[in-house]
Amino acid sequence: MPGQRSDYLERHPTRALLVVEVSDTSLQQDRLSKSRIYAGAGIPDYWIVNLRDDCVEVFRQPDATRRVYAAHAVAQRGRQRPRSQPRLAIRVFPNL
C-alpha cells in the first residue's frame, strides 16, 4: 500500500508500486529479463513505453514464485491507470 508523504520524511520507500521503462533498443531485454526481475519482486504494475511500436505494454498480476506476470496488455497512447492507484491517470506520449 502506498504511504503518505509524511511516512517518508525520515526514510525511503521500500517497495515500488509501479515501474516504467522507456524502451527502444532495449525492448527485448525489458520484456524478458527486466519483467522477470520485477515480477519476482512483486511489483504490481510494470509498464514498457515501447517507442518502436508507439504503444505502452502493461504487465500486471505478478507471480513472484514463477517470476512472470499473468496479465499482459498493449495500450495505445493516452491515459493509463496504475492498479495500485486507480484514481491516478498518467498521460503517456511514447513518441516525445
Whole-prediction pTM value?
A: 0.79
Confidence at residue 45, expressed as pLDDT on a 0 to 100 scale: 93
Taking only the tens place, the pLDDT of each residue in 36-75 is: 999 999 999 999 989 898 888 999 999 999 999 999 989 8
Taking only the tens place, the pLDDT of each residue in 79-95 is: 777 777 777 777 766 45
In terms of residues, how long is the chain? 96
Q: Give the start-to-end residue ranges of the domains of the chain.
A: 15-92
| Strand, coil or helix: 40 | helix
Taking only the tens place, the pLDDT of each residue in 11-45 is: 877 788 899 999 989 999 999 999 999 999 999 99
For 84, residues 6+ apart whose C-beta sits below 8 A from its C-beta are: 1, 2, 17, 18, 44, 45
